Amino acid sequence: MTVEAVYLPDGSDPVSRSLLDDPRLRRYFEGFGTQPDDVGVVATCEGVDVGACWARCFSPDAPGYGWVAADVPELSIAIADPWRGRGLGTLMLRTLLDRLAVRGCRQVSLSVDPASPARRLYERLDFLHLGWEGTSMTMIRQLGTAAR
């Protein structure tokens, strides 16, 4: 799902799976579920994983792209192309936000290309623009508030 999470503008070549060898990207999935702050949801259809939304905390010496603080989990979301635009992203993201809030997290962050359609989903669910990391936006959302 990490490959599916990479935003590609229309007409771009597909992402190579070799991208998963990049240590900065590997930290989003390597050993997922072994850290106490790892949380995620998976959408399946007829036994096939079609989407995932997950979050984990990163340290200041190995931050993620949307890193804010060591106690603020950073989320990732991916939906297989044929399943996009069907409400799965909203459902998975709301579920993840609820799970993070139940765990006592006060905020969650993310990184998004400003041209990505996902940006509209994040804004609709009350994520706010916090800053820039290169050409990507860092967004943050307070938890414990209702997602519309």
Residue 2 lies in a domain: no
Residue 134 lies in a domain: yes
Residue 9 lies in a domain: no
pTM to 2 decimals? 0.82
Q: How many domains does the chain have?
A: 1
Residue 5 lies in a domain: no
Q: What is the structure's pLDDT at 111?
A: 94
pLDDT tens digits for the chain (148 residues)? Answer: 555 555 455 665 656 666 667 777 778 778 888 999 999 999 998 898 889 999 999 999 999 889 999 999 999 998 888 888 889 999 999 999 999 999 999 999 999 989 888 899 999 999 999 999 888 999 999 998 555 4
Residue 147 lies in a domain: no
Residue 11 lies in a domain: no
- The amino acid present at 134, given as its one-letter code, is G
Task: Calculate the CA 10 to chain-centre distance.
Answer: 21
Q: How far apart are CA 88 and CA 117, in angstroms?
A: 14
Return the exposure string of 108-132: e unless at least 16 CB atoms fall within 10 Å of the residue's CB, then b: bbbbbbeebebbeebeebbbeebee
Range of the domain at 31: 17-142
Q: What is the CATH number of the domain that holds 138?
A: 3.40.630.30
